[in-house]
Amino acid sequence: MSTTGCGCLRKIPTIPCAGSGSTKRRKKAITTDLPTRASGLYVISHTPARFSRRGLEVLSDVNQKFADALLEEMKDVEKPIVLVQDYHFALLPRLIKEKRPEARVAIFWHIPWPNPDAFDISPWRREVVDGLLGADLIGFHIQSHCNNFLHTVDRVVESRVDWEHFSVRRLDHLTRVRPFPISVDFTDVQEQEATLDSYTERSTLLKALGVEATFMGVGVDRVDYTKASWSVFWPLSFFWRSIPPIRVSLRSCRLALQAAATSNAITI
In angstroms, the CA 110 to CA 83 distance is 13
Q: What is the domain range of residue 206? A: 197-267
pLDDT digits (tens, 9 = 90+) for 177-215: 999 998 766 666 666 555 556 666 777 877 887 887 777
In angstroms, the CA 82 to CA 69 distance is 13
Q: Domain for residue 189, yes or no? A: no
- What's residue 3's pLDDT? 35
- DSSP E strands in 189-232: the ranges are 215-222
In angstroms, the CA 258 to CA 128 distance is 28
The three-state secondary structure class of 13 is: coil
The three-state secondary structure class of 137 is: strand
Do 31 and 97 lie in one domain? The reply is: yes
Lowest mean pLDDT among 125-129, 156-160, 173-177, 212-216: 212-216
**Number of neighbours of residue 224 by Cβ within 10 angstroms:** 18
What is the pTM (predicted TM-score) of this model? 0.66
Do 95 and 210 lie in one domain? The reply is: no
- What's residue 195's pLDDT? 54
Q: In total, how many domains does the chain have?
A: 2
Do 52 and 131 lie in one domain? The reply is: yes
| For residue 108, pLDDT beyond 90 | yes
Q: Domain for residue 191, yes or no? A: no
- Residue closest to 58 by CA, chosen among 72, 38, 31, 74: 38
User: What is the C-alpha radius of gyration for the chain, rounded to an integer number of angstroms?
Assistant: 22
Question: Is residue 122 a contact partner of residue 48, using CB atoms and an 8 Å limit?
Answer: no
Q: Domain for residue 172, yes or no? A: yes
In angstroms, the CA 142 to CA 112 distance is 9
Q: Domain for residue 66, yes or no? A: yes
- Choose one of 112, 146, 179: the last residue of a domain: 179
Q: What is the CATH number of the domain that holds 107?
A: 3.40.50.2000
Q: Domain for residue 19, yes or no? A: yes
For residues 213 and 121, the model is more confident at 121
Q: Domain for residue 126, yes or no? A: yes
- Choose one of 131, 149, 179: the last residue of a domain: 179
